[in-house]
């Protein structure tokens, strides 16, 4: 996996983060990252590892989606099980490794920790509900720009959509109030866009820049819903 530099995605991440500091009910940390799915040497090793760790039939079982505010839940008994190709599963794991290395390693993640989202509307509706709840009306001003920027990078109409269900113990999502993550996979473009958000209380994971921001801001005047 190779990170594809995109200043517009970087600016969007920073903008939503800043909005959460000024108008939101919690502090948001975002990742909006685009990756090439062309394999590097490490990717080839990971693919061999995935293939050797399972009885590879060309398909990997996925859990059913369970969307909602800060969702994460196990497979519900009786629901139809989905599947993806081993190559697609490899791309999902590679994207997580590329995004969170060196702090976390997802090489041993199970395919059942992922789910396929049925369509783009389901993804956008879930993200809209979460950001409206967290940012209020300020999200309305950037919603169209957000999706136009993502569409230009990944071609949304040609994508399939996935999500990772955190175990909340050994990965980056364990200490947050809530989270979401989505993978936009465009097989034709050999590209994947990773969209992740974690919510923290204002006192958690403060950076030096945030400390400077708050030193000149009256916290009591924030419009917190």
- pLDDT tens-digit series, residues 73-96: 333 444 445 889 999 999 999 999
State pTM to two decimals: 0.82
- The 10s digit of each residue's pLDDT in 36-81 is 999 888 888 888 888 877 665 677 889 988 655 444 433 344 444 5
From 109, 6, 91, 111, select the one nearest 40 (Cα to Cα).
91
For residues 58 and 85, is the Cβ–Cβ distance under 8 A?
Answer: yes
pLDDT confidence of residue 18: 93
Instruction: Tell me the C-alpha to C-alpha distance, in Å, between residue 48 and each of 32, 41, 91, 110, 134.
Output: 28, 11, 13, 15, 41
């Amino acid at each position: 996996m190779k990170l594809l530099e995109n200043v517009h995605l970087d600016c969007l991440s920073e903008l939503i983060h800043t909005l959460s500091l000024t108008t939101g009910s919690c502090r948001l940390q975002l990742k909006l990252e685009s990756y090439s799915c062309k394999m590097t040497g490490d990717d080839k090793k990971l693919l061999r590892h995935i293939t050797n760790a399972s009885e590879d039939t060309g398909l990997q079982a996925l859990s059913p989606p369970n969307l909602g505010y800060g969702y994460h839940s196990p497979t519900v008994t009786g629901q139809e099980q989905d599947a993806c190709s081993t190559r697609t599963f490899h791309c999902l794991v590679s994207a997580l490794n590329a995004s969170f290395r060196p702090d976390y390693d997802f090489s041993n993640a199970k395919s059942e920790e992922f789910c396929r989202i049925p369509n783009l509307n389901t993804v956008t509706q879930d993200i809209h509900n979460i950001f409206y709840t967290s940012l209020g009306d300020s999200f309305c001003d950037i919603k169209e720009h957000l999706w136009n920027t993502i569409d230009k990078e990944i071609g949304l109409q040609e994508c399939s959509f996935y999500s990772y269900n955190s175990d909340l113990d050994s990965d980056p999502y364990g200490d947050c109030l809530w989270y979401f993550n989505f993978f936009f996979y465009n097989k034709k473009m050999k590209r994947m866009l990773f969209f992740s958000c974690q919510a923290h209380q204002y006192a958690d994971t403060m950076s030096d820049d945030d400390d400077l921001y708050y030193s000149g801001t009256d916290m009591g005047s924030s419009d917190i819903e």
